[in-house]
A and B are shown apart, each in its own frame.
Chain A
């Protein structure tokens, strides 16, 4: 369900949506439309905006929105680099939900879920996803959806679902979002157009457009890893039923990246790590609780490949293996904890994880030693009293 949900948002937008900027024929530069003006309230588009405005009012009060100013200013800055003149019309909301998703409503409400933040390696990758969503917004794809709908009542029902999903309860409505994804996803042409606009916006903002196909390949690797782990492969076909084939999209994005790439473009990796670093541990803890071991391990492998000397990432890999508990996972977890320990400032929790595995495998002295190290380093830990008991035995 989650995967379909995130694709609903990331690739189609939770609220289908909207444009007027002329998407020129292949090979010509795309021209951004002028700023969108609030539609008359008596029109169908006005009704759509009013509906979304109400949802935004709820979202603004949601406990799931991260309000930290530096993070919000940073992400708004990236969105504004992409949106250019449309910047004043965008409002960014960071929603704490460990699922890959972003969506933009026709009124300018832009949601970024924390599962997406965790998965992006740099500013350029986030720009690829947000650029795509801004593409739907600028092209007013949701209005097309509204007018295309064969039955207004069916669309009303869809709106109810979509907005419940996108709105305040947002985080709680992943299942509904998936319903939207399957029943009312943007058409393939809209997706292609949003891909194209998004990548243009990226390049204009100075981001390496080659990161756009990379977002897709990362995503597919995670989906495949999870499917391999749970032993189910048919999810992919359901997932991409209403989209252009991901391979086709990756290929197209890759080809266009070559055309768009210019000297001096960057990925913004260092500022990205600095800005998201303070949240990473919490987001990885949220990720672990999902118990999507295949996805989580694919994600961690990728993160470790990019930052091989980061002890926190090795620690979380250990935790993912320990919690998965498949054949050979105990040994993999111990290796990961050992790798974490070779770097300065390794998380003290690695000793707890190691102790738990040693205890499970009957190495009581080893377990006691590990637990002792944990409570010595983290006497204030929420579970220190539990492990102190083993030390005292």
Chain B
């Protein structure tokens, strides 16, 4: 369950969810990455999140910074309720950059109407990566959100980070801080300039 709103509701009800302040300063991201945010963020801590981390500045319905920390061969980006196995695209280590974006598109299309606005080469956590931007009209609440993401493959695993917020007000308010966090991400043991 990687829908942050739903996840936070469910887990709050179950009284086993925690929001922890992270940053400013060095913050571990899963086992293998480290970020160095210049500002304080809130991190959702809950059981069953697997290799996903959710951060927010103003709260989850408003802005979400989502980290996928090592999607492995054969795993989907998100689980799609009601879909059969063959109807859900899975990560392959040999996937091309545009295919990773297509995998994201299929997952996003499950949540609404999505448009990819830009895809370009980039660097993420010291790896050759892809950066893309998108616009999504969510079918649940009909809010138009904008987002951007970085995706890189290392050791046959996908590392991806996605920032998303409503197009009105919240995207502009936090996009720069989110970019700064993502620029600071590196693999443990790697030098800052790597």
Contact = CB atoms under 8 A, between A and B. Distances in A.
B109 A289 contact: yes
B88 interface: yes
Interface of A: 1-2, 62-64, 96-97, 168-169, 171-172, 175, 229-232, 286, 289-293, 323, 352, 356, 359-360, 382-383, 385-386, 389
Given A169-B139, A360-B96, A64 B113 contact: yes
A-B complex: 9 closest residue pairs judged by Cβ atoms:
A172-B139, A289-B109, A383-B119, A1-B82, A385-B120, A230-B84, A171-B139, A172-B140, A386-B119
B134 to A, nearest CB: 10
A232 B82 CA distance: 13
Contact of A360 (B94, B130, B140): B94
Contact of B98 (A97, A293, A383): A383
A230 B86 contact: yes
6 contacts: A63-B137, A175-B81, A291-B83, A291-B106, A323-B89, A383-B116
A291 B96 contact: no
A63 B98 contact: no
Contacts of B89: 291, 323
Contacts of B130: 386
A172 B136 CA distance: 13
Contacts of B82: 1-2, 175
B98 A352 contact: yes
B73 interface: no
Contact of A229 (B86, B98, B106): B86
B102 A386 contact: no
Interface of B: 81-89, 94, 96-99, 101-102, 105-106, 109, 112-114, 116-121, 130, 132, 137-142, 144
Secondary structure of the A side of the interface? Answer: helix
A343 to B, nearest CB: 24
A34 B148 CA distance: 55
Interface centre among B84, B88, B89 (most CB of A within 10 A): B84
Contacts of A383: 98, 101, 116, 118-120, 132
B41 to A, nearest CB: 29
Given A169-B142, A352-B98, A383-B98, A291 B119 contact: no
Contacts of A169: 139-142
Given A63-B144, A385-B120, 15 more contacts: A2-B82, A63-B142, A169-B139, A171-B139, A172-B139, A230-B85, A230-B87, A289-B109, A291-B89, A292-B87, A359-B96, A382-B116, A382-B117, A383-B116, A389-B121
Nearest to B142: A63
Contacts of A352: 98
B93 to A, nearest CB: 12
Contacts of A292: 87
B104 to A, nearest CB: 10
Given A385-B121, A386-B97, A386-B130, A291 B116 contact: no
Contacts of A359: 96
A169 B106 CA distance: 20
B119 A382 contact: yes
Given A175-B81, A356-B98, A386 B121 contact: yes
Contacts of A356: 96, 98-99
B137 A386 contact: no
Nearest to A326: B86
Given A229-B86, A232-B84, A290 B109 contact: yes
Given A175-B82, A386-B130, A291 B137 contact: no
Contacts of A172: 112, 138-140
